[in-house]
C-alpha cells in the first residue's frame, strides 16, 4: 500500500523437505504433480517465486528500471509455461509516465460457460516497488517482498490453478501492475483501457501485502471498503470459512482509495476492493530495505492462497452476479 508510514494455514500447510528455486515458479520434484492434484498451491513454489521477485537482482523493481523488466519477463514466462493466454496482442499493457515506459502484465483464462464467459473477474496486484530506501548496514535495495511481491505471487498461483482446473465459468484476467508506487498509474491505465474496450466487469479484487499473518484472534485477512459491497460476506460464504473481515483503521487511513482496486471502482462502478493481511501491527518494514523474502511467513501465504481458491471459484461460478454494491 502506498506511503502510509506517516499514518500509521482447511487446507493443511505443507512441510516441504526441498525448496528448489526455479525461474518459472514451478517445481521439478517428481512428486509435485501428484501433490498438486490435492493441494493446489505448494509452499515450495511460493518460496521460489517470491525469493526471485524480492531478490537483489531485481533492484527493488522500480517502474522503468532494469529490475522491473526482469520481473515482467518472469511473469510473462510464468504465464506462458502455465498456459495462461495474453488478453491483448501480447501480455504487456504499456503506458508512459513522462519519459518512463511502464508495463502492466495481463494474463487471461476464458470462462467455460457459453454465456457467463462474457463476464469478467479481475484478480490483481502490483509488481513494482520503490527501488531503493534509506540504507541499513549498507543495504539500499527495497526488495518489496511483502509490498507487493506477496500479492503478485498469489495472483500467479491462482492463474496456474485455474489454467489447470478449468473451473471458471466467467473469464478471469490476472493483472500485475507497474507504477502503483507512482500513484496507481498502471492500474489506472488498464482500467481506462478495459472500460473503453467495453468489457462486462463483474468484480475486481486487488491483493496487497499478504505475506504476514494477523493476530490469531483476527480474521486471516481484511477487505477495504468493507461496507461498500457484500463481497466479504459472499467470499466467506463460498469458502465456507471466515477468511475476510473488517479493519477499523481502513477508513481512517483511506485504504480503499490507496490501492489498485480504486481505478476499477471509479471506471466501472462495480465491487472493486483490496484484500490484505498487513494491518499496521504485524510488519515493521513497509518501504524499508528489510522488506525481504526471509521476513515472509510462507506457511501463512500458502494457506491464504489455498483458502481463497474456493472463495474465488464461488465468485467466478455463481449463476448470477451475487456480489453487489451496497447503498451508502
Distance CA 211, CA 219 (A): 15
The contacts of residue 127 (CB under 8 Å, 6+ apart) are: 53, 61, 68, 71, 72, 75, 105, 148, 149, 152, 176, 177, 178
- The per-residue pLDDT for 39 is 75
- The per-residue pLDDT for 35 is 45
- The per-residue pLDDT for 38 is 62
- The per-residue pLDDT for 327 is 86
**Residues of 24-44 as b/e, b for ≥16 C-beta within 10 angstroms?**
bbbbeeeebeeebeebbbbbb
- The per-residue pLDDT for 15 is 36
Please list the rounded mean pLDDT of every run of 10 residues in the chain (328 residues): 40 34 43 54 98 98 98 98 98 97 98 98 98 97 98 98 97 98 98 98 98 98 98 98 97 96 98 98 98 98 98 98 92
Rounded to 5°, the CA angle 256-260-263 comes to 85
- The per-residue pLDDT for 34 is 42
Q: Which domains are assigned to the chain? A: 25-317 (3.40.630.10)
Question: What's the predicted TM-score (pTM) here?
Answer: 0.89
Amino acid at each position: 500500500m502506498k506511503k502510509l508510514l506517516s499514518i500509521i494455514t482447511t487446507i493443511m500447510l505443507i512441510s516441504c523437505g526441498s525448496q528448489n528455486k526455479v525461474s518459472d515458479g514451478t517445481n521439478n520434484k517428481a512428486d509435485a504433480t501428484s501433490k498438486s492434484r490435492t493441494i493446489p498451491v505448494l509452499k515450495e513454489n511460493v518460496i521460489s517465486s517470491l525469493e526471485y521477485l524480492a531478490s537483489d537482482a531485481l533492484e527493488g523493481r522500480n517502474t522503468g528500471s532494469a529490475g522491473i523488466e526482469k520481473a515482467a519477463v518472469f511473469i510473462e514466462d510464468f504465464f506462458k509455461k502455465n498456459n495462461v493466454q495474453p488478453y491483448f496482442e501480447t501480455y504487456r499493457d504499456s503506458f508512459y509516465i513522462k519519459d518512463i515506459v511502464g508495463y502492466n502484465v495481463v494474463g487471461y483464462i476464458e470462462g467455460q460457460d457459453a454465456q457467463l464467459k462474457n463476464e469478467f473477474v479481475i484478480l490483481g496486484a502490483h509488481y513494482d516497488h520503490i527501488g531503493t530506501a534509506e540504507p541499513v548496514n549498507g543495504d539500499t535495495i527495497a526488495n518489496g517482498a511483502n509490498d507487493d511481491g506477496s500479492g503478485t505471487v498469489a495472483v500467479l498461483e491462482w492463474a496456474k490453478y485455474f489454467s489447470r482446473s478449468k473451473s471458471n465459468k466467467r473469464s478471469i484476467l490476472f493483472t500485475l501492475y507497474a507504477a502503483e508506487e507512482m500513484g496507481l498509474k498502471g492500474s489506472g491505465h488498464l482500467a481506462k483501457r478495459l472500460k473503453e474496450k467495453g468489457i462486462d466487469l463483474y468484480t475486481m479484487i486487488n491483493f496487497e501485502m499478504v505475506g504476514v499473518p494477523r493476530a490469531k484472534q483476527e480474521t486471516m485477512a481484511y477487505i477495504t471498503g468493507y461496507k461498500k459491497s457484500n463481497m466479504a460476506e459472499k467470499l466467506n460464504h463460498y469458502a465456507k470459512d471466515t477468511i475476510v473481515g473488517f479493519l477499523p483503521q481502513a477508513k481512517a487511513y483511506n485504504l480503499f482509495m490507496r490501492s489498485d482496486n480504486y481505478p476499477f471502482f471509479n471506471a466501472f462502478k462495480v465491487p472493486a476492493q483490496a484484500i490484505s493481511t498487513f494491518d499496521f501491527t504485524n510488519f515493521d518494514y513497509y518501504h524499508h530495505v528489510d522488506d525481504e523474502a526471509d521476513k515472509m511467513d510462507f506457511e501463512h501465504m500458502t494457506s491464504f492462497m489455498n483458502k481463497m481458491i474456493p472463495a474465488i471459484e464461488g465468485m467466478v461460478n455463481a449463476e448470477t452476479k451475487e456480489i453487489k454494491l451496497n447503498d451508502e
